[in-house]
Every structure is written in C-alpha cells, then in structure tokens.
C-alpha cells in the first residue's frame, strides 16, 4: 500500500509540475505576444503622428512654391500644382491602409519629388531608374 501510494503521489506531483510548466509557458508566450502587439501599435501611432505633423508643413511649403512660381512662370506653377494634386489624390486613395502596391507608392514619391524639385530648383536634380519587373 505504501509503495503504491508513493508511486501515485510521485505521478501526481510530476503531472502537476508538467501541467504547471505548460500553463506557465503558454502564459509567457501570450504575454510576449501582447507586448509585441503593443509595440507595433505604439510604432504605428508614432508614424501617424509624424505623418500628421509633416503634412501641414509640406503643404505650406508646396503652396509657397506655387505662389512664388506664379509671378515668374505660370506654366511651371500650374504643373507643380497638378503634381501636388496628384500626390494628395493618391494619398487619399490609399487612406489608412498599412500596405500599398509599389506602383501607388512610386506615384506618390514621384509627385512629391516633382514638387520638391520645383521648390529647390537649381539646387537639386532627381533621376528615376525603376525596373519594370
């Protein structure tokens, strides 16, 4: 009887220890997952805040560029304004999407670069080499 009760006690103790270990490991994995999600959400919030801060500044500079071009070259001012409109339209079309097609990202980057090239005319030259693939 003593021998059997010791075997059962040892088995129950081992079973409890293994069960506790598995539950602890699952809790640890869940906690790490929650921490990673929190970090990802924090980074996303920081990027959104940065984008919200950048947009008014960029828009202000772009409109000042168009305003100064209107006195010198109306056609360039119109082209710059059209590039700005293309960029804003493409940005709005993407909305709050976390992922975007490369074609859409390139369209936004090229419109942005066109506006900046006019803003820094004579001081910057932008060239694009993009493989079709």
Positive or negative CA dihedral for 66, 106, 39, 96?
A: positive
Question: Is the pLDDT score of 93 beyond 80?
Answer: no
Output the 3-class SS for 3-59: HHHHHHHHHHHHHHHHHHHHHHHHHHHHHHHHHHHHHHHHHHHHHHHHHHHHHHHHH
Q: Which residues, 6+ apart, have CB-to-CB distance to 29 below 8 Å?
A: none
pLDDT for the residue numbered 91: 77
* For the chain, domain boundaries: 2-119
Confidence of residue 96 (pLDDT cuts 50, 70, 90): low
Helix (H) or strand (E) holding 111: helix 102-119
Per-residue pLDDT at 51: 67
Confidence of residue 3 (pLDDT cuts 50, 70, 90): confident
Mean local confidence (pLDDT), 70-97: 83
pLDDT tens for each residue of 17-61:
999 999 999 999 999 999 999 999 888 877 777 666 567 778 888
Segment 115-133, tens digit of pLDDT: 888 888 888 888 888 888 7
How high is the mean pLDDT of the chain?
85
């Amino acid at each position: 009887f003593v021998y059997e009760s010791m075997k059962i006690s040892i088995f129950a103790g081992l079973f409890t220890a293994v069960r506790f270990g598995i539950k602890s490991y699952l809790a640890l994995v869940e906690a790490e997952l929650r921490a990673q999600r929190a970090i990802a959400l924090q980074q996303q919030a920081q990027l959104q805040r940065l984008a919200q801060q950048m947009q008014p500044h960029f828009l202000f500079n772009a409109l000042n560029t168009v305003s100064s071009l209107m006195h010198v070259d109306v056609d360039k001012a119109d082209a710059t304004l059209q590039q700005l409109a293309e960029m804003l339209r493409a940005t709005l079309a993407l909305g709050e999407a976390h992922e975007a097609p490369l074609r859409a990202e390139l369209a936004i980057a090229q419109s942005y670069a066109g506006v900046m090239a006019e803003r820094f005319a004579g001081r910057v030259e932008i060239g694009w080499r993009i493989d079709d693939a």
